[in-house]
Structures are given as structure tokens and as C-alpha cells.
Amino acid sequence: MAPLSDSELAQRALRVREHCIRMATDGGCFLGASLSCVDLIVHLYARVLTFDPARPDAGDRDVLLLSKGHDVPALYGTFAEMGVIEPGRLANHLSPDDHIYWHPNRAVPGIEFHSGSLGHLLSVAIGVALDIKLRDGGQKVVVILGDGECNEGSVWEGALVAAAHRLDNLIAVVDRNRFQANIETEQLVPLDPLAEKFRAFGWWADTCDGHDFGDLDRVFDATDEPRDRPAVVVAETVRGKGLPSIEARADRWFCNFTHEEIAQLLRELRGGGGSDLTSEPLVVR
């Protein structure tokens, strides 16, 4: 299969965003956090990870772990577009008869591990990376962390341990949308300068624009250079990216819109003007 061009990637990302928006009703989902990492996830599966959509559990695949978890609509949307799962299955969102809910469940093909409790999957990724090394495998493990998640001590404990074991097959990507749940990161527990913190912990680190496929190419190409340490990519992103009505808003983390609002947001995504959102902003947590 020919590699996707930047414009084809952008089209795929647009369709993934549509899937995410359609999940933000009848119970809703964490839309803001999902939209910030859509471009990242679409790019990773198209250009970084060795992954066969027809064989999501193939032994030679690279492994992607979604640590913050509540951004899983972006991953399900990507899987639907890649053919890992049937797109129609997304309509089962929140149904007790399927496993598609607010956090990942590995009963869904392509999902490597459940998450949602923050600060867990860097350590799980360390275990996977250690197993690959024991087998002399060449696969890599990519773990996507939320920036607010980096409040958790276990992230930094794992960062020390991964560096100590020189896990050069491990890449952490921080979805740096600059929001905790409902508060800007720098107003609560400041994280800047985040890349430098990881460097001080013994990691290779770089920063990029998490919505620019060219810049994502540049940074992930750089992670392919020989290293003797784990790598972190701090991807600068915008919460709610693609929907100016909710972009960078502290109160649009979890969203449960009316069907009319969903129709407006889908038009807005395609450049059809702003949305008139009257649903109560939800503050969760």
C-alpha cells in the first residue's frame, strides 16, 4: 500500500474527528482531550508504527499504549478509518453490549491495554520494552501520556527506571495540550520546561507541533537515530483542536452535546462557521 500523503492524512484526521464528535452525545465523551491527539495518533499509525490493520495482534507489531485513556475516541476513530474495527461499531459507544466506553478496553481489537487511571502505562510500557529486549526484537513501544498526567509521581518513577535500563526501544509522547481536567497546567502544577525535565531524567527529548505532520515526521525520524536511552516527544497540541467553539476551553473537557449541537459541530469542523453551544459545560472530576 502506498504511503499516505499529508493531505490524505489530513483527510483521515478530519474523519477521525468526526467519529470523536459523534461520540460526544447520548452520554458524551472526553471530546476536548480526544481532539488534541487525533493528528498524533493518525500520524503514528500511518508513518511511525509497524502495524498491520488486518492483524492487530501480530507478534512483530510495534506497540502503542494510550496512558491517559480518556482520549480513546481518537484511537477508536483511527481504528475505524484503518479498518481495524468496523466503523459501524462506534455506534455502540456506551452500550453495555460492547466494550466501547470512556476508557480503553483491550477486548476491542487494536487496544493493547486498558487505562484511565493516570500514571500507569509508562510502567507497563517498560515491561513490554523489556520483553522485546529479552527476545532481541526490533519493535518499539510508544506510550502517549497526557500532560496533566505528568502530575503523577509514578510517571517520574517510571522515567527514572526506563533511563536506568537504557530502554532505547521506548518512546513516550506527551500530548501537551496545556490542560489538566478543568484547569490550565501552568496555573495548577506547572510543567514547563517539560522536555528539559525528561532530559534531566536521562531521556532523549524533543518538542514538536503535534498538529503538523511535517514536524511530526521530523521528530519521529530523529527518534530513529541510534540512542542509548528512551525518547520523549513533547507534542504541543490544542485541546479541542478542529472546533474553534471549544478549542482551549477549560470547561469543554468532557462534552455531552445535543444532537442539534453535534450537527453544528460537524459543520464547524468542515469550515461551516461557529457553533452555538447551549449545553451546560460539564466540569467533571
Would you say 158 and 126 are in contact if contact means Cβ atoms under 8 Å apart?
yes
Contact 22, 261 (CB under 8 A): no
Interface residues toward other proteins, by CB under 8 A: 106, 112-114, 117, 119-134, 153-154, 157-158, 160-161, 164-165
Which one, 133 or 199, has the nearer CB to other proteins? Answer: 133
Q: Which amino acid is at 59?
A: G
Smallest separation, CB 19 to other proteins (Å): 26
Check residue 202 and give left, alpha or beta (phi > 0: left; psi -120 to 50: alpha).
Answer: left
Task: State the alpha helices, DSSP H only, in the chain.
Answer: 6-22, 31-36, 38-43, 72-82, 121-134, 153-164, 185-188, 194-200, 213-223, 259-269
CB closer to other proteins out of 23 and 121: 121
CA angle 38, 41, 47 (to 5 degrees): 130
Whole-number minimum distance, CB 205 to other proteins, in Å?
Answer: 19
Query: Assign residue 170 a region: left if phi > 0, alpha if psi is -120 to 50, beta otherwise?
Result: beta
Burial, 151: exposed, middle or buried (Cβ in 10 Å; 0-12, 13-18, 19+)? middle
Nearer to other proteins, 102 or 179 (CB): 102
- Shortest Cβ 131–other proteins spacing (Å): 4
State which residue, 124 or 208, has the beta carbon closest to other proteins. Answer: 124
Closest contact distance (angstroms) between CB of 187 and other proteins is 27
Q: Which is nearer to other proteins, 162 or 208 (CB)?
A: 162
Q: Minimum CB separation from other proteins for residue 158, in Å?
A: 5
CB closer to other proteins, 65 vs 205: 65
Distance CA 130, CA 264 (A): 47
Minimum CB separation of residue 237 from other proteins in Å reads 25
Helix, strand, coil percent content, the chain, rounded in steps of 5: 40, 15, 45
